[in-house]
Amino acid sequence: MLDANVCGSYWIGRTWGLGGQDGGGTLPAPSAPAVTAIGGSSVSPAWGAVEGAASYRVLRDGAVAGTSPSTSFTDSGLSPGTTYAYSVSAVDGAGAAGAPSAPVQVTTTEAPNACHTDNTYNHVAAGRAHQVQGTVYAYGSGQNMGLYDLYVTHILEETSPGYFVIADSGCPS
């Protein structure tokens, strides 16, 4: 490959907004995002408008999480109890993103305890327990749940992701 072809590819990429920091756009960074809502699996940041912006690129931990035509965005499908860093870039009419804003860190809320009432066979099928030689044990706590069959029923409470305890006397959630 000739040097001229490599340089030509570089300039074509720059023309398409692919070169330079975060797309090579010239728009200033939006104000640092402020979080308007936090859930167990979603975060909603909002930021100040940038004059000349056609849309905004939302970055989660440095990777593109999505785009928004307005000054707010809802990012969903997140893990409960996890910290994420959000920043935003203004995108001009040609699709070039400007410099990203200062990041803001946010931690999703913990998932509420989930309770499941079922027989031991279905607890195993749902991945809340496992069986060894006909006896069922809750994942995480390892509590003995009795025989692996359709007649032994227990309430299992998920106190943290993948950790189940027997809650036959009642579940708080």
pLDDT of residue 102: 93
Fold classification of 22-107 is Immunoglobulin-like (2.60.40)
Is residue 122 within 8 Å of 155, Cβ to Cβ? Answer: no
**Cα-to-chain-centroid distance, residue 43:** 8
CA distance 92 to 2: 33
CA distance 57 to 61: 13
pLDDT of residue 13: 59
pLDDT of residue 145: 96
The mean pLDDT values, 10 residues at a time, for the chain of 173 residues are: 54 53 77 85 92 96 94 89 92 94 88 83 92 95 95 90 87 68
- Average per-residue pLDDT in the chain? 85
Q: Which residues pair with 8 in a beta bridge?
A: none
- In 32-167, the DSSP E strands lie at 34-38, 42-46, 55-60, 63-68, 75-76, 83-91, 97-100, 104-107, 114-119, 129-132, 135-138, 144-147, 153-160, 163-166
So where are the chain's domains? 22-107, 114-166
